[in-house]
Amino acid sequence: MSGSSQVYRSSTTAPVNIAVIKYWGKRDTALNLPTNSSLSVTLSQKSLRAHTTASCSESFSGPDSLILNGEKEEIQSSKRTQACLKNLRSLREQLEAKDGSLPKLSKLTLRLVSANNFPTAAGLASSAAGFAALVRAIADLYELPQSPEELSIIARQGSGSACRSLMGGFVAWRAGTKEDGSDSLAEEVAPVSHWPDMRALVLVVSAEKKGVSSTAGMQTTVETSTLAPARFKEIVPRRMKEIEKAIHEKDFETFARITMQDSNSFHAICLDSWPPIHYMNDVSRAAMNAVETANRKAGKLICAYTFDAGPNAVIYYLEEHTHQIAGVFRSILPRIPGWEGEFGEAVRPNEFGSLEQKSLMTLKAGVSRVICTGVGGGPEKIEEHLVDEKGNAVPHE
């Protein structure tokens, strides 16, 4: 193919990340600059991923477009998406200005097509994987030389937590201090290979779209919570140091304690906001109870719960404790979907969890699926395109 009909394409997949030190609060809402640093575990893309194709061509006309899970998204009015596109185009323009032989892709209409393999807005950080995939795919299409850290500054403007999905393993988002946000970026703390036996069991409590959006909730907290300033200034900076050390030393007990403390601290400042923000429900508390029971039975911390802006539980544990943790949940929830797949198949039901009856019944009634997964790698370039050679979106499955 040549000339004006050529369709340039690049595709990538990007992972979901689940924070163990939570981002909750912005010091700048336009640039998505956070009130504190945060740290997450990147989850395996075998279970959860966004897949995005970025394409451009002289034969495309009209404004840039995005199709997400088969539906056209309105991106012209989305300041966040526009900020990402503007930054990426400007980096491409710089390359084109330096090397006149490069095709002027920065001038062409972008057609973006994306699909998640999990429900959007189910409280599973779909915006993180989505913006990470979008930025990575366009950066590859434009053949940008920028590092994942540099691209994380762009993804952050799409959605704060997205900056942490540009890398695998254990990832810190440094809050930074500059007003322009140029030092508010993600950094790999340790790769997957450092602690590959880290597992995560997600209990999906609700696949409904969530009530209070993160963006609105964070603003309410920053403006009204009396507990939040201490969290931003003292508690999180201390915990970041402690948990990074725990990760480097593969000290699971410290990792687990801080993870649970920080989830509770985040939900405490939500409850301390006015009007108060509730994300956890009875099913979440039953999951907490199950984690505490497993830890008590083991006589040490072998698992840790964490909850985001919704009722779903994420439980971290090491592979060697699969039977004591995932096994107990499998025996309580044998028939719900999600036990198939690489990590889940290895889980045998364990009937000796000794969970009290009330929590048991609450979990049985309230958990709709599990996602049995583990720590995974960063975005991957793939040749499976969601836009065909002629520039048409491939129909959504």
Which residues in this chain contact ligand 2P0 in the complex, by CB under 6 A?
Answer: 19, 22-24, 32, 38, 127, 159-161, 214-215, 308-309
Three-state helix/strand/coil letters over 19-77 = EEECCCCEEECCCCEECCCEEEEEECCCCCEEEEEEEEECCCCCCCEEEECCEEECCCC
Order of strands across the sheet with 303-307? 303-307, 313-318, 198-204, 369-374
Q: Kindly state the smallest distance separating residue 396's Cβ from ligand 2P0, in Å.
A: 23
Name the residue nearer to ligand 2P0 (CB basis): 37 or 106: 37
Q: Kindly state the smallest distance separating residue 136's Cβ from ligand 2P0, in Å.
A: 17
Name the residue nearer to ligand 2P0 (CB basis): 44 or 127: 127
Three-state helix/strand/coil letters over 251-274 = CHHHHHHHHHHHHHHHHHHHHCCC
Residue of this chain nearest to ligand 2P0 (CB atom): 160
Q: Kindly state the smallest distance separating residue 102's Cβ from ligand 2P0, in Å.
A: 33
The C-alpha atoms of residue 148 and residue 349 are separated, in whole angstroms, by 40
Name the residue nearer to ligand 2P0 (CB basis): 159 or 184: 159
Name the residue nearer to ligand 2P0 (CB basis): 7 or 246: 246
Name the residue nearer to ligand 2P0 (CB basis): 42 or 161: 161
Give the up-direction half-sphere exposure of residue 304: CA atoms within 13 A in the CB hemisphere.
Answer: 25
Name the residue nearer to ligand 2P0 (CB basis): 42 or 214: 214
Name the residue nearer to ligand 2P0 (CB basis): 216 or 365: 216
CB 269 within 8 A of CB 227: yes
Q: Kindly state the smallest distance separating residue 131's Cβ from ligand 2P0, in Å.
A: 8
Tokens of 358: 């009330």
Name the residue nearer to ligand 2P0 (CB basis): 188 or 308: 308
**Closest to 373 measured CA to CA, from 200, 196, 129, 122:** 200
Tokens of 123: 């409280």
Q: Kindly state the smallest distance separating residue 121's Cβ from ligand 2P0, in Å.
A: 10
Q: Is the dihedral of CA 15, 18, 21, 22 positive or negative?
A: positive
Name the residue nearer to ligand 2P0 (CB basis): 65 or 78: 78
Tokens of 346: 């290895």
How distant is the alpha carbon of residue 291 from its chain centre?
A: 22
By the 10 Å C-beta count (0-12 exposed, 13-18 middle, 19+ buried), 111 is classed as buried
The C-alpha atoms of residue 22 and residue 267 are separated, in whole angstroms, by 10
Name the CA dihedral angle for 270, 251, 371, 298, rounded to a multiple of 10 degrees: -100
Name the residue nearer to ligand 2P0 (CB basis): 10 or 159: 159
The C-alpha atoms of residue 194 and residue 250 are separated, in whole angstroms, by 8
Q: Kindly state the smallest distance separating residue 248's Cβ from ligand 2P0, in Å.
A: 21
Q: Kindly state the smallest distance separating residue 356's Cβ from ligand 2P0, in Å.
A: 29
Q: Is 132 helix (H, G, I), strand (E, B) or coil?
A: helix
Q: Kindly state the smallest distance separating residue 127's Cβ from ligand 2P0, in Å.
A: 5
Name the residue nearer to ligand 2P0 (CB basis): 127 or 322: 127
Q: Kindly state the smallest distance separating residue 266's Cβ from ligand 2P0, in Å.
A: 6
The C-alpha atoms of residue 187 and residue 206 are separated, in whole angstroms, by 31
Q: Kindly state the smallest distance separating residue 156's Cβ from ligand 2P0, in Å.
A: 8
Q: Kindly state the smallest distance separating residue 19's Cβ from ligand 2P0, in Å.
A: 3
The C-alpha atoms of residue 81 and residue 282 are separated, in whole angstroms, by 36
Q: Is 173 helix (H, G, I), strand (E, B) or coil?
A: strand
